[in-house]
Amino acid sequence: MRVFGRNFGNDYPLGPKTQEWMKDTLHPTFCFPSMVRFSWMTVKVMLDKSAHPVKWYVSEAFLDYYRGLDKRIQD
């Protein structure tokens, strides 16, 4: 399969051409194009090894708002 001007192999995560394409395409901040299956263990390992870590912060006000919504839905 040819995408982005390159042949990335048989579309299986363990294929050597697919792995080479993923290594060449991986951006440390923006990861991969949306066509990559993030459920693949190969992708998860590459992201853990080569991508920037991301920490998500949630404010207490945000949590309180959604807790209130959840309570209203249950009532």
Tokens of 40: 């693949």
**Tens digit of each residue's pLDDT (9 = 90 or more) over 3-29:** 556 666 666 778 888 888 888 888 888
Task: Specify the pTM.
Answer: 0.56
Give residue 20's region: left, alpha or beta (phi > 0; psi -120 to 50).
alpha
Residues forming a β-bridge with 48 = none
Q: For residue 3, give every residue at least 6 positions away whose Cβ sits within 8 Å of its Cβ, in sequence order, or none.
A: 33, 35
Domain ranges of the chain: 2-74
Round to whole Å and give the CA distance between 39 and 59.
Answer: 29
Tokens of 24: 């060449």
**Tens digit of each residue's pLDDT (9 = 90 or more) over 39-70:** 888 889 989 999 998 888 889 888 888 888 76
**Listed residue (45, 9, 11, 1) closest to 26, CA to CA:** 45
Predicted confidence at residue 55, as pLDDT, reads 85
